[in-house]
Structure formats: C-alpha cells, structure tokens
Structure 1
C-alpha cells in the first residue's frame, strides 16, 4: 500500500463500519443561536463535512449542563429542545454516509460567573479544587476579567448523573456514540492534573484517585451506550487552560488511566500530540509537558476492541504513514475542516487545500443569527 491509500480503507469501530480513516475532530464554532440549541444552519454545516468525506465526525463540544458553560452560543444536550436540534444534525450526517459521535463536555473552572449561561444556571463555577486557572480571556465579557477561583465540588458523584443523562440524550438524538472530552484543561482533565486537583478525599492525591473521575464518567456513558460506542479524547501534554504536570507524574497518571481504559474495551482513545498552539506561555514559560504522546501511550492499548486514534498537526501523508505502519487506526484533523468542507475528498484526489480561514468569524458573530453563515457554512467545496 502506498501514498495515501491507507487512509481510505474502511475501519470497524465497534459495530460501525467507517468509510475511511480521515476524521473530523471537535471544533468549537459558537453557532447554536440564539442560545445553546442546534439549528438548521448547524445541520447544514455538518452535512457539508459529511458529504466532504469525513469517515467519523466528532461534534463540537456539547455541554452536559447549563452550569459548566463558558460560551452562550455553544450547544448543549440537557433539555429536549436540544435533543430535537441535534436530531436534525445526526439525520443530515447519516444521509451523507458518515458516522457522528457527540463530544460530551463540561468546562469546570474555566467558566466565569458573569457568563450568561452560568448566570442562568444559578450555580457557581465548579472545579475539583478552589484553584483558579491562570490566563484566559472571555470574548463576550467586557474588559479582561480572566479566570476566577472556582467553588470546589463537594461530591463529584453528583456530576456523574449529568454525564449519564447527556449520554441518554445523545442516544435519543440519533448519535452513533459519544466521546468524553478528557483533554485541554476542562473538567475531566482538571481532576487528572495535580496542579488543578488538590483534593484529599478519594478523588484526589494518588494517581488512582485523580483518574477516578475520568473512569467513572466513561463508565456512566458505557452504561447507556455499551463500551463499543464510547470514546475519550486525552491530551497528556497539557498546557491549555493552565494544566500540566512534571514529566514522570504525567506519564504515571496517563499510563494508569489508559491502562484502565484498555480494560474497559471502549471504542477508542484519541491521543492529542504535543502542539505549541495548545501550550500557552504562562509566567514566561510554556505550561505543558512536551513528550512523544503516541510512542508513550499507544502501546498501552492492547485490547483488540479499542482503536487508537491520533490528533494534532498531521498532514495527509504523515497520517497515511502512521496508519500504514500500524501506529494508529485513524487520524483526526481539525482546523483544516473549517475552510475545506470537503477536506477528505481533497486529500483523496490530491486537490489543493484552501488555507484562507476567516478567523474573525471562527467563533461566531456574537449571536447575530443573520450573520452566522459567514465563515461557517459558506466555504465552497472544490470541483473534482
């Protein structure tokens, strides 16, 4: 097998057969206007990318509760109106022959008490411990408020019910499965990271205790979907949203977690490689822990039921080599799907990629519904 052919072989993912190994990763776009309910424009956007050849689409982060929301126009999955909105999306994707998983998300300490949805929830900003993240900015809040000190969660088990209900709602909305967002310094990652989690109960301290929340969230989703329709996204290199541990502690923590996930036989683990754009400079230094993510953790996934997926900074040629060499089973691409709704087809046909992304509209137009199509669903497909 040569060149790019390895990417265009079908793949069994649990009971699903994916048409290729080129996937679309979660991309926050803030187009669920007027607020947090998927709409017809969202369905059009996802349909375009399914028609453009994505073997598997992971939704933008789908918030499991109104509390735990950073952006007012990011979609949720906690009420029936949202379920109905997502059903339009899943129907559109399935009509184009792609599979779609909902990425279930809670932002934890990187919300803000003045965020409109956080206010509407009537609850504080929650996190494993009362430790604020450094840095941060909120495009929709005046000034530069930065992150606040969150309220420590009294009993993390109360949040597990929210994850489980979101999994139930995702099933009702017609998704093919769910991905737990365990990366990039959001709630699940906050529990894993000893710089964000100073708990002294059985949810903090030891590697096993810090990994407990992630494993319980996965198990809650498995109860609803079965293990073969649940995945998780992990970014052991950290950095983003002020997380990151010393190298040995990082390797020990994620090696334990991934070994435990392997025992569960879930559908996949998506490993995010180190990337500078996900590793901010804080107090004069990079925050993350740079190391070779795939060579360190992929060998720990030995269960034949569990696929290894990779993410971050791949070219088509590099992705094909990794698949052909058996290092990974498939590769996620993110930002390239923004201006290339037919990204997979362009790769297959060796058609040049469009690189002119309208970054000013990447995260929406402030909820002005009439403007939301611009920079979202108006990128043209190539002529083949």
Structure 2
C-alpha cells in the first residue's frame, strides 16, 4: 500500500501519488461543444487525484458521436477549457485532455455538420449497436470510407486539437485509441477491410494510430502526449481478429520509440500481453482494470505492473476520493441515472466526507 502514495514524475508533471482520474463521458457540454457551466467546478473538485484525464473531446466536427460532448478545435472551446485548466491548476491538479474521434460510432443528428460518419471502411456496427439522439435511439448508419487524403487531414485535426489543448492551458493530451472508436476501428479486421497502406497487415492497420501519435508529438512534444489502448475490448462491435495480440505488441513497440509521457491500458485480462508491455514500455504505464474491487486497486502498482491506477466511477461519485481512501471511509455510490443527465445533478453535487460528518 505504501507505494501508491509515493511521488512520480510523468512527462512534465510531478505527481504526489499513483492514482488518477480516468476519462469519463459526462454529456454536459454546450450544443457547440464548449465545456458547460459546471465543468470547471467538476474537475476542480477532483483535483486531489493529481492527474485528471478529461472526458473524450472531439478534435473536429467529424469526431463527434454523442450529444453534448466537448470539442477542442474552436476559439470558444479553447476559452472554455482554459477555465477548466485554471481551476484544476489552482487546486493543485493536472489536466490532460483526451482527444476522441469516434469514427463510425456516430449519427448525423448529433454532429454540427449533420454528415455521414466516417470510418476506415464503409461498414456499420452491428444492428444492435445504436446511438442516442434527440429523436431517441437510432440505428447507426453505414459510414463513409475515408480517402487517403482525408486520413492525412485527420492527422492534422489531431495535431491542431493538441495545440489548442495546450493553448487552453492543459498539461497535455491523451490520444484515445480504445473503446471502439476511430483509431481502434483501424485495428479491427471486421471494421477495416482496406487494401491500401492502412489496411490488411498488422503494420498497415496500426499505421493510422502511429501517424496520429507522431503528429501530436511533433506539435506539442512527447512529454505532453499520452495514448490509450484497450486490447481485446469489443466495444462498438469490433473484432481485432486472431492476430490482435501481435498487433498490440507491434503498436506498442512503435509508440515506445516516441518516448510518450505514458501509455494507458484498459485491461480486461490478457496478463501475458500486459507483462510484455510492462517489460518493454520505457515511460509511465497506466493500467485500468475493468471491474476490480476497491481493495485491489493498488495490486498492479505494488507488483510493478503499473505506475498509475486510474479510477472511474469512484472518482465520479467522490470528489474527495483520496481523503476517503486514505481514511478507509465509506464511498458515495455513483447514480447511473444522472451520468449524462445535464446540469449539476449527479455531477457537482456529490457530498464530500466533510459535509457528511456535519450531517
């Protein structure tokens, strides 16, 4: 348990412990993608977690999939995120903005330009994968296959969004290569049937992710860049095929050459892959184990498999999670009915321990 409270340097950040806040979509942005009224307070309340990785934030109009998710590509977005970053820094925390392009996991009703979603190939998710819109749940349409020129333009969208995040005062960005979104769609054999340099072989299917990472590093520096992966996670109907493990081994070996600030793994059980990545990854490794009980959140750190343990719903419902965890105090339960409800309810109104003690 002692190791989790030891300091660590990640990129340019000096962190006082080994916990962090995982990225969580909250659906509280304004219709134009600017962070909402309560967003600065939400992140400020959780600043004691040290490293806060923001909710998925689209780098372009094409990148949006869900209602009321924030962007980081307009002047209004930058101004909104600057207030968030200032509040987090004033409270002693650090902010990485997660750059999330959803690819085919979208619907025209939810984007500013109302265009067909884009993807590696013109393949829709399974029919039981639906998207919530103002009109209710709708089937996700068949996406439009990106041309090579559009792929290169998407690199530039990530580059510009990373620059905008730094302009807004963020400490860095996390590239979202996980959870069924655009970058992982390039990995998956059932979503990417391209026959050019971005499809087919392991090297080709990993190419888009590597080139996005290189563009961001060129723009803001490796020590301000993180990358998130979720090997074997089938969200969005993805299947990475029989060579999925080899793809991630190759991808991680190439990303390691960039000396990124960190690699963030959503881990669902491939222990051999995790240990291989741990042995080869040169900088900080964040491991978020799905479904772990509270008493196990320190195990990977104690065993040397991770440097940081990001937490999700515990951080969402407990702005003072660090204080509670140190004291062995009880935790608030996250209210699933208000995860994306809008406003302050279920967002900034979870009571800290100090308030409960006064009750």
Match for residue 116 of structure 2 among 119, 124, 129: 124
Cα distance in 2 for residues equivalent to 1:301 and 1:224 = 27
Cα distance in 2 for residues equivalent to 1:376 and 1:294 = 34
Deviates more, 1:94-103 or 1:311-320: 311-320
Equivalent residue number for residue 311 of structure 2: 333
Query: How is 1:230-249 mapped onto 2 (pairs within 5 angstroms)?
Result: 230-246=225-241, 248-249=242-243
Cα displacement (A) at 1:314:
3.3
CA separation of 1:302 and 1:219: change in aligned 2, threshold 3 A: farther
8 Å contact from structure 1 (residues 203, 213) kept in 2: yes
Query: How is 1:64-79 mapped onto 2 (pairs within 5 angstroms)?
Result: 64-79=59-74
Unpaired segments of 5 or more residues in structure 2? none
Equivalent residue number for residue 137 of structure 1: 130
Equivalent residue number for residue 177 of structure 2: 182
8 Å contact from structure 1 (residues 268, 308) kept in 2: yes
8 Å contact from structure 1 (residues 129, 152) kept in 2: yes
Equivalent residue number for residue 278 of structure 1: none
Cα displacement (A) at 1:345:
1.9
Unpaired segments of 5 or more residues in structure 1? 275-291, 366-371
Cα distance in 1 for residues equivalent to 2:238 and 2:253 = 21
Equivalent residue number for residue 36 of structure 1: 33
Equivalent residue number for residue 348 of structure 1: 326
Equivalent residue number for residue 363 of structure 1: 340
Equivalent residue number for residue 273 of structure 1: 267
CA separation of 1:108 and 1:349: change in aligned 2, threshold 3 A: same
CA separation of 1:76 and 1:143: change in aligned 2, threshold 3 A: closer
1:146 aligns with 2:139: yes
Deviations 1:202-235 (A, max 9, x none): 0010000000000011111101221122111100
Deviates more, 1:220-229 or 1:181-190: 220-229
Equivalent residue number for residue 255 of structure 1: 249
8 Å contact from structure 1 (residues 19, 98) kept in 2: no
Cα distance in 2 for residues equivalent to 1:92 and 1:114 = 33
CA separation of 1:300 and 1:361: change in aligned 2, threshold 3 A: closer
Cα displacement (A) at 1:144:
3.7
Cα displacement (A) at 1:305:
4.4
Match for residue 99 of structure 2 among 101, 104, 123: 104
Q: Secondary structure at the match of 2:353?
A: coil
Deviations 1:109-144 (A, max 9, x none): 0101222x2xx3253210000000112223334354
Cα distance in 2 for residues equivalent to 1:294 and 1:48 = 34
Equivalent residue number for residue 93 of structure 1: 88
Cα distance in 1 for residues equivalent to 2:305 and 2:278 = 11
Cα distance in 1 for residues equivalent to 2:291 and 2:12 = 29
Cα distance in 2 for residues equivalent to 1:179 and 1:227 = 11
8 Å contact from structure 1 (residues 267, 305) kept in 2: no
Q: Secondary structure at the match of 2:243?
A: helix
Cα displacement (A) at 1:354:
1.2
Deviates more, 1:317-326 or 1:13-22: 317-326
Equivalent residue number for residue 210 of structure 1: 205
Deviations 1:163-203 (A, max 9, x none): 00001100100111110000011000001111110000000
Cα displacement (A) at 1:316:
4.3
8 Å contact from structure 1 (residues 258, 301) kept in 2: no
Cα distance in 1 for residues equivalent to 2:271 and 2:172 = 24
Equivalent residue number for residue 282 of structure 1: none
Cα distance in 2 for residues equivalent to 1:222 and 1:99 = 19
Q: Secondary structure at the match of 2:44?
A: helix
Match for residue 264 of structure 1 among 258, 279, 287: 258
Equivalent residue number for residue 349 of structure 2: 378
